[in-house]
Amino acid sequence: MAYARLEPFGPLEARYRVGILAAQQHNLNRRKGGKAAAPEDFLPKTAKDVPDPDVLRRKLQATFTDVAVAFNAGAAISRGHR
Q: Which residues have C-beta within 8 Å of that of residue 38, sequence separation ≥ 6?
A: 23
Q: How far apart are CA 57 and CA 47, in angstroms?
A: 18
Is there a single domain that holds both residue 4 and residue 36?
Answer: yes
Confidence of residue 82 (pLDDT cuts 50, 70, 90): low
Is there a single domain that holds both residue 42 and residue 64?
Answer: no
| Beta-carbon-side half-sphere exposure of residue 33 (alpha carbons within 13 Å) | 0
Considering its fold, how many domains does the chain have in total? 2
Q: Is the pLDDT of residue 71 over 70?
A: yes
Q: Is the pLDDT of residue 49 over 70?
A: no
Q: Is 39 in contact with 22 (CB distance < 8 Å)?
A: yes
Q: What is the pLDDT of residues 28-45, one digit of tens each?
A: 999 999 999 999 998 877
| Beta-carbon-side half-sphere exposure of residue 46 (alpha carbons within 13 Å) | 1
Higher pLDDT, 21 or 73: 21
Confidence of residue 62 (pLDDT cuts 50, 70, 90): very high
Is there a single domain that holds both residue 1 and residue 40?
Answer: yes
Is there a single domain that holds both residue 38 and residue 3?
Answer: yes
Is there a single domain that holds both residue 40 and residue 78?
Answer: no
How much of the chain, in percent, has pLDDT values that exceed 90? 33
Is there a single domain that holds both residue 39 and residue 2?
Answer: yes
